[in-house]
């Protein structure tokens, strides 16, 4: 019935839209190029809009259609204006009108707006006179960038020209102001949709290096030269032949990809999420290799295109950047010559004409310039970089001389702007001439939710993060500043993950690469050994800190001996922190820094690299302090007995006043009511939940508590199960509250304690109810498509008194409870737990004993534990 109320022109347009979209979809599936298909989509929309415009003109009372259209001009703009229209794109129209024709124009616009909506298209429109359109565009960057790509569709040609020609002329006159406004607007958008070109789930329209980068060239080209077509910008010398080709190829690739996203979704869709990446990789015929998934191959191609856009757009933007009036006047006065060819200004370093003509194409000279730029803390000015870029764009062969090797290591020695300069070398493809394995890592995706960048971007980012430690006011900053051979640390960071993308373990492949790099740079045997060691064992410190019980001093001693001498341990500590920081924003948090720093401090004791009291002295000092606090207490003997049974880790990490407070509550605890406290640790940014029970009364306390905590929407980071004197158990859990950032309110903490206490005393020991979390269909598809295989490992070597069970599997709700309960049902007691979650993958580590509190040696039983865990987790996954 609703269709009967539509006008005939609307019904016809609606039918045409459905028919044409279906036909265009078949053409897309048959392989029609993206640019060509977008032009055909635009033609389809044009045809529909023209019919609706004529129908709306017929509907303006008191005026003939000819009179209406003589006083209006229909102007497509934005993507519709440049004919980049995707199947379900919005339509942006500006309706220009004569100043004396406003009321009829309003009636016309209302009719057109309703008809376009009824057809099923989304219309963005404005109604303006030519002078209003120009004025608004010149005062608002968003309006300007949309109207910069306009074309005539219908109505008065002369009216359109009264807008288009003055707009083009005034844009060029206002270029300096427009440039700043456009760049500010783009910076805000990029911060929202992804600053880095190698983000894992990009928006192919708005993220860095995507269609928006090409559009930026067009918008700024229009403002500067009055031209927005790439060919026209090439003709006026604004972009090189190579950049024009790079941008045109990327435009074709991205438009075809965008058409696929739209057609598959049946609506506007620009997000290339993980599910779509998997689907399109299969659709495009990527087969993968032994070391690379098909989706990783597909995304490597994608990132190669977006990197090309990023580099070309950045170069164009820099080439037309208006020079500061201040610098143009005072810059020459404030610039000093540091040698014959380098001139250091207030913000940038520049080169002489002679250097540009004779030396810009020599790698050694470019490295010399970069070393100077780093030493003086200056950017390389654009005219110099433009010449360098042009010289090396042909991918010329580069000979690695002894001088080149020395200069590159000298560049690595100074933090400064090292990350930025390494990216510049990588952009020129010179970094892979110096370190050949960077070519394999270029744009190489790691298809997981943990790493936010491609392998090459991550490696360079870790160097930049390490350099940033220079300004930290803590142990991490002190250690970084004290490292003598920073070049060796930075080189290790630059190559530490280059072994990824091969079938073999990436640390082992990386160690071989490190040997080749060491030989390539003629490193001394000692430096070569350090470089290979840092790459081979770059994960060891993080695995020990977050997967093992580091209260075991023998374990710390072995780690120290394996990674000594002291200078090498310093490098490993900084490398580990930088590796975390280079994963993505916020990954290296205060909690991780504290845990790694504690392990570093204690390891350095064994290497003579720290004057801190040794472990025995620390324990004795802490015990004496606690003894003084309970002296004269009516239960002094009980307190001393229990204090003497506290493990080293608990004593070291817990303030004396808190220990006494916990023990007082433990001493006063009733058998039917376990002690539960919840404290926010501001120094770590986590909640510390402490539970006291009697061992005989609370069998299987770990799985019970795990269920209680995780059912309250809290993530367990680590757990300690401490068995004390007199059969007492004092457990401590470090958790993050998903419902609150920072310190939760007092009522939340009290509620957590009450719920945990209630659950622990429930005689039924029933499984808790976990709050459901909504996930989209695409998320579920991605999880299914990249399901991480479950792996169970048994370690009977590391701990003297415990069997260590490691569970590697895909994260899901209630997982930790499921594992811990199964361990309990198999008659195992959990003494220490380490929980590491990387968004989509978990590594849960449990130190366990059997019912007799003994380590498990029987191979048959160990195999049974592995089998039971694997089957239970596989059943849960199915």
Q: Rounded to whole angstroms, how far apart are CA atoms 137 and 19?
A: 37
Residue 694 has a pLDDT of 79
Residue 178 has pLDDT above 90, yes or no: yes
The residues, ordered by sequence, that sit 6+ positions from 11 with a Cβ below 8 Å of its Cβ are 3
DSSP structure string for 101-137: GHHHHHHHHHHHHHHHHHHT--EEEEEE-HHHHHHHH
22 Cβ contact list (under 8 Å, min separation 6): none
Alpha-carbon torsion angle 458, 463, 465, 471, nearest 10: -170
Residues with Cβ within 8 Å of residue 739, at least 6 apart in sequence: 713, 748
Residue closest to 107 by CA, chosen among 63, 66, 159, 155:
63
Per-residue confidence at 2, pLDDT binned at 50, 70, 90?
very low
From the list 515, 518, 499, the residue with the least C-alpha distance to 507 is 499
Pairing outcome for strands 728-737 and 791-795 = unpaired
The per-residue pLDDT for range 264-320, each reduced to its tens digit, is 999 999 999 888 999 999 999 999 888 788 998 999 999 999 999 999 999 999 999
Is it the case that residue 168 has pLDDT exceeding 90? Answer: yes
The long-range contacts involving 13-17, CB below 8 angstroms and separated by at least 24 positions, are 13/48, 13/51, 13/52, 13/115, 13/119, 14/118, 14/119, 14/120, 16/44, 16/47, 16/48, 17/44, 17/48, 17/119, 17/120, 17/121
- pLDDT at residue 779 above 50? no
- DSSP assigned state of 77: B
Q: What CATH class is the domain 2-173? A: alpha beta
Give SS3 for 683. coil
* Whole-number average pLDDT of the chain: 87
Structure confidence by residue, pLDDT tens digits, 327-342:
555 555 556 667 778 9
| pLDDT tens for each residue of 602-624 | 898 877 654 444 667 777 888 88
φ, ψ for residue 693, nearest 5 deg? -145, 175
Measure the CA–CA gap between 381 and 424, rounded to whole angstroms. Answer: 13
Q: Which region among 27-36, 510-519, 833-842 has the lowest average model confidence (pLDDT)?
A: 833-842
Who has greater pLDDT, 62 or 798?
62
Q: In what order do the strands lie in the sheet with 714-723?
A: 675-681, 686-694, 728-737, 714-723, 829-837, 841-849, 803-810, 791-795
> Residues 409-428: pLDDT tens digits?
999 999 999 999 999 999 98
Q: Distance between CA atoms of 434 and 360, rounded to whole angstroms? A: 17
Q: What is the dihedral of CA 238, 243, 248, 250, to 10 degrees?
A: -140
The answer on pLDDT for 774 being more than 50 is: no
Given pLDDT bands bounded at 50, 70 and 90, which one contains residue 717? confident
Quote the pLDDT of residue 1.
40
- Alpha-carbon dihedral of residues 379, 248, 179, 137, nearest 10 degrees? -170
> pLDDT per residue over 267-279, tens digit each?
999 999 888 999 9
pLDDT digits (tens, 9 = 90+) for 188-211: 766 665 555 446 788 899 888 899
The superfamily CATH assigns to domain 180-320 is Nucleotidyltransferases  domain 2 (1.20.120.330)
The residue-averaged pLDDT of 140-149 equals 94
Q: Which tokens sit at 769?
A: 């109810």
Please give the pLDDT value at position 394.
65
For the record, the structure tokens of 272 come out as: 């290339």
pLDDT digits (tens, 9 = 90+) for 791-817: 888 988 888 889 999 888 876 777 888
| 838 touches 450 (CB < 8 A) | yes
**Which of 18-27, 424-433, 830-839 ranks highest by mean pLDDT?**
18-27
Higher pLDDT, 504 or 652: 504
Q: What is the mean pLDDT of residues 226-244?
A: 94
Query: What is the predicted pLDDT for the residue at 334?
Result: 57
The SS3 call for residue 508 is helix
CATH top class, domain 777-878: alpha beta
Smallest Cα–Cα separation from 558: which of 731, 878, 762, 800?
A: 800
Helix (H, G, I), strand (E, B) or coil at 742: coil
Give the best-scoring range by mean pLDDT among 143-157, 681-695, 757-771: 143-157
pLDDT for 609 equals: 54
pLDDT given for residue 368 in this prediction: 94
Q: What is the pLDDT of residue 782?
A: 45
As a whole number, mean pLDDT of residues 562-569 equals 90
The domain segmentation of the chain, as residue ranges, is: 2-173, 180-320, 669-771, 777-878
Q: What is the pLDDT of residue 11?
A: 92
For residue 565, say if its preceding peptide bond is cis, omega within 30 degrees of 0. yes
716 band by pLDDT with thresholds 50, 70 and 90 = confident
Q: Do domains 669-771 and 777-878 have the same CATH topology?
A: yes
pLDDT the model gives residue 195: 52
Residues above pLDDT 70, as percent of the chain:
90
Give the tens place of pLDDT for each residue, 428-458.
Answer: 889 999 999 999 999 888 765 556 788 999 9
Among candidate residues 769, 793, 658, the one with its CA nearest the CA of residue 712: 769
Burial grade of 672 (CB within 10 A; 0-12, 13-18, 19 or more)? exposed
**Per-residue confidence (pLDDT) for residue 54, from 0 to 100:** 95
> Any idea what the Cα angle at residue 877 is, between residues 871 and 878, rounded to 5°?
90
CATH of 669-771, one of 3.90.820, 3.30.70, 3.40.50, 1.10.3470: 3.30.70
- Virtual torsion, Cα 843, 844, 845, 851, nearest 10 deg: -150
Do residues 328 and 537 make contact, with C-beta atoms less than 8 angstroms apart?
no
Q: Is the dihedral of CA 628, 634, 640, 645 positive or negative?
A: negative
pLDDT in tens, 66-108: 999 999 999 999 999 999 999 999 999 999 999 999 999 999 9
Write out the two tokens for 810: 């895909």
Q: Report the C-alpha gap between 283 and 722 in whole angstroms.
A: 54
* 466-484: pLDDT as tens digits: 999 999 999 999 999 999 9
Tell me the pLDDT tens digit for each residue of 733-753: 888 887 777 888 889 888 888
Percent of the chain with pLDDT over 90: 54
**Predicted confidence (pLDDT) per residue in 481-507, tens digit:** 999 999 999 999 999 999 998 989 999
Q: Which two tokens stand for residue 390?
A: 């042009």
């Amino acid at each position: 019935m609703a269709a009967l109320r539509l006008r005939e022109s609307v019904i016809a347009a609606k039918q045409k839209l459905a028919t044409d979209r279906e036909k265009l979809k078949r053409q897309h599936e048959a392989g029609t190029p993206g640019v060509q298909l977008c032009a055909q989509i635009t033609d389809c929309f044009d045809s529909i809009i023209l019919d609706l415009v004529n129908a709306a003109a017929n509907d303006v009372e008191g005026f003939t259609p000819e009179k209406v259209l003589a006083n209006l001009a229909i102007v497509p703009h934005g993507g519709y204006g440049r004919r980049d229209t995707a199947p379900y794109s919005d339509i942006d129209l500006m309706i220009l009108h004569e100043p004396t024709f406003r009321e009829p124009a309003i009636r016309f616009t209302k009719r057109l707006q309703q008809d376009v909506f009824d057809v099923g298209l989304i219309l963005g429109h404005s109604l303006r006179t030519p002078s209003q359109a120009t004025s608004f565009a010149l005062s608002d960057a968003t309006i300007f960038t949309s109207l910069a790509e306009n074309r005539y569709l219908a109505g008065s040609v002369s009216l359109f020209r009264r807008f288009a020609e003055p707009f083009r002329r005034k844009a060029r006159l206002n270029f300096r102001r427009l440039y700043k406004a456009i760049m500010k607007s783009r910076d805000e958008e990029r911060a929202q949709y992804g600053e880095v070109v190698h983000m894992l789930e990009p928006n192919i329209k708005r993220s860095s290096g995507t269609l928006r980068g090409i559009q930026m060239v067009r918008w700024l080209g229009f403002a500067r030269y009055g031209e927005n077509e790439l060919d026209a910008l090439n003709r006026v010398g604004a972009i090189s032949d190579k950049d024009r080709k790079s941008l045109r190829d990327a435009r074709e690739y991205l438009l075809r990809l965008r058409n696929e996203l739209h057609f598959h979704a049946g609506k506007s869709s620009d997000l290339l999420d993980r599910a779509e990446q998997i689907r399109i990789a299969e659709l495009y015929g990527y087969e993968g290799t032994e070391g690379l998934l098909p989706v990783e191959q597909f995304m490597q191609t994608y990132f190669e295109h977006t990197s090309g856009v990023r580099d070309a757009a950045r170069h164009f933007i820099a080439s037309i950047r208006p020079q500061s009036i201040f610098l143009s006047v005072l810059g020459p006065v404030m610039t000093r010559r540091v040698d014959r060819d380098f001139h250091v200004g207030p913000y940038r370093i520049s080169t002489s004409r002679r250097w540009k003509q004779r030396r810009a194409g020599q790698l050694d000279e470019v490295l010399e310039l970069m070393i100077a730029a780093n030493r003086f803390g200056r950017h390389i000015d654009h005219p110099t970089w433009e010449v360098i870029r042009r010289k090396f764009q042909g991918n010329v062969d580069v000979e690695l001389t002894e001088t080149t090797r020395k200069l590159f290591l000298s560049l690595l020695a100074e933090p400064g702007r090292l990350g930025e300069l390494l990216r510049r070398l990588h952009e020129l493809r010179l970094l892979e001439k110096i370190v050949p394995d960077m070519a394999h890592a270029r744009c190489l995706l790691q298809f997981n939710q943990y790493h936010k960048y491609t392998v090459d971007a991550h490696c360079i980012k870790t160097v930049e993060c390490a350099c940033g430690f220079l300004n930290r006011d803590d142990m991490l900053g002190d250690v970084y500043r004290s490292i003598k051979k920073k070049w060796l640390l930075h080189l290790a960071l630059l190559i530490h993950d280059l072994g990824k993308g091969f079938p073999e373990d990436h640390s082992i492949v990386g160690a071989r690469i490190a040997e080749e790099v060491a030989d390539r740079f003629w490193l001394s045997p000692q430096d070569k050994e350090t470089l290979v060691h840092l790459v081979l064992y770059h994960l060891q410190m993080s695995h020990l800190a977050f997967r093992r019980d580091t209260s075991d001093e023998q374990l710390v001693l072995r780690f120290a001996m394996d990674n000594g001498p002291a200078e090498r341990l310093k490098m490993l500590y900084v490398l580990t922190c930088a590796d975390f920081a280079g994963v993505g924003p916020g990954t290296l948090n205060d909690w991780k820094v504290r845990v790694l720093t504690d392990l570093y401090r204690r390891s350095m004791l064994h290497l003579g690299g720290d004057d801190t009291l040794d472990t025995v002295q620390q324990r004795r000092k802490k015990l004496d302090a606690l003894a003084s606090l309970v002296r004269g207490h009516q239960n002094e003997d009980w307190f001393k007995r229990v204090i003497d049974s506290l493990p080293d880790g608990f004593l070291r990490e817990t303030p004396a006043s808190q220990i006494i407070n916990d023990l007082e509550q433990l001493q006063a605890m009733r058998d039917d009511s376990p002690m539960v406290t919840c404290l926010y640790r501001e120094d770590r940014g986590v909640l510390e939940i402490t539970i006291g029970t009697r061992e005989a009364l609370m069998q299987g306390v770990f799985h019970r508590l795990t269920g209680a905590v995780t059912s309250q929407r809290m993530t367990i980071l680590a757990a300690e199960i401490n068995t004390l004197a007199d059969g007492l158990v004092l457990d401590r859990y470090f958790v993050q509250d998903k419902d609150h950032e920072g310190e939760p309110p007092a009522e939340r903490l009290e509620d957590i304690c009450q719920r945990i206490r209630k659950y622990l005393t429930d005689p039924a020991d029933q499984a808790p109810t976990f709050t459901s979390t909504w996930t989209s269909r695409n998320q579920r598809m991605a999880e299914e498509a990249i399901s991480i295989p479950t792996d169970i490992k048994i370690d009977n070597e590391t701990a003297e008194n415990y069997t260590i069970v490691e569970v590697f599997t895909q994260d899901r709700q209630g997982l930790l409870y499921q594992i811990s309960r199964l361990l309990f049902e198999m008659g195992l007691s959990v003494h220490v737990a380490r929980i590491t979650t990387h968004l989509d993958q978990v590594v849960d580590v449990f130190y366990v004993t059997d019912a007799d509190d003994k380590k498990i040696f029987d191979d048959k039983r160990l195999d049974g534990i592995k089998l039971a865990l694997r089957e239970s987790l596989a059943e849960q996954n199915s």
